[in-house]
Amino acid sequence: MVDRLSKTDRAINHYESIRISIREEILFRIGQRDSFSNYLAVSLGTIVTAAFLSNNILVLLIAPFASIYFTSMIMHSYEIHVKIMTYLRDIIEPELSRLCETPCEHEWEYFYTSRYKSGIRRHFYVYSMYLICLFVPIIVYLIEPSTWIAPLLCLFISWGLCCWIKIRNDEVTKSSENKNEEDNK
């Protein structure tokens, strides 16, 4: 059988299939973060309920670690999302534009990242994690001052983990913002 598609048409089909796959992965990442957010809310609610039903306020000290775990999963999903979005914007879309002889500015990721700032939800998760890791140990200490060692350890350990996650989040955000600024010049 003779292949009737030109080399350009085959290249366009190839890049289109990659673009479709990447867009599906991006949609999966968005859904994944929504699921992790739901798991976080349910786990925090469960921890609070368990603490009050068992009359053991120290159970609340699990909450910062649940928050850290789910926030780190959410941040990892954002990190992968940024990498695949960057690949789509910097490699696939410009090549498709070149092959189709259309302006790159009309491609979705290029258009979106050159005009809109994303990351509001990402920062919400990180700052919520900080608040949980700060206030839960303080609340436990205020309710049960005789058990000051556990809240203090929880505070130091969770705060260190929060800082590590925040640094990773800032690196991803900064690399994404730097690329957007370069594109806008």
Q: What is the residue-level pLDDT of the chain in tens, covering all 185 positions? A: 446 778 888 999 999 999 999 999 999 999 999 999 999 999 999 999 999 999 999 999 999 999 999 999 999 998 898 889 889 989 999 999 899 888 888 787 777 777 776 667 888 998 999 999 999 999 999 999 888 899 899 999 998 888 888 887 777 767 666 655 665 55
Reported as a single tens digit per residue, the pLDDT across 4-13 is: 778 888 999 9
Q: Is the pTM of this model over 0.85?
A: no
Alpha carbon distance 25, 4 (integer Å)? 31
Residues composing the chain: 185
